[in-house]
Amino acid sequence: MDISLLNLGDNIETKKPHPCGGTVWEIIRKGADMKIRCTTCGRIVMLTPDELKQRIRRVLGGTNG
């Protein structure tokens, strides 16, 4: 998975669920750190691109189109 192909607003599914039970996250910031928001509870988490790459199961698409 190439992290540079992800865009703002894209939804991703993680391998492990968040403690709230959700596995779908929205990308809300790109750069040296990636900021993602849980679509179930709204919690925001910042990860390095390498950490995010390890946690992604699949890309679900985006809210942009």
Each residue's pLDDT, cut to its tens digit, for the chain (65 residues) gives 678 888 999 999 999 999 999 999 999 999 899 999 999 999 999 999 999 999 999 998 776 54
Tell me the three state secondary structure of residue 18: coil
Q: List the domains of the chain with CATH numbers.
A: 3-62 (2.30.30)
The rounded percent of the chain whose pLDDT value lies above 90 is 78
- The reported pLDDT for the residue numbered 3 is 81
- The reported pLDDT for the residue numbered 64 is 57
pTM (2 d.p.):
0.86
Give the helix/strand (H/E) hosting 50: helix 49-55
Q: How far apart are the C-alpha atoms of 43 and 26, rounded to whole Å? A: 11
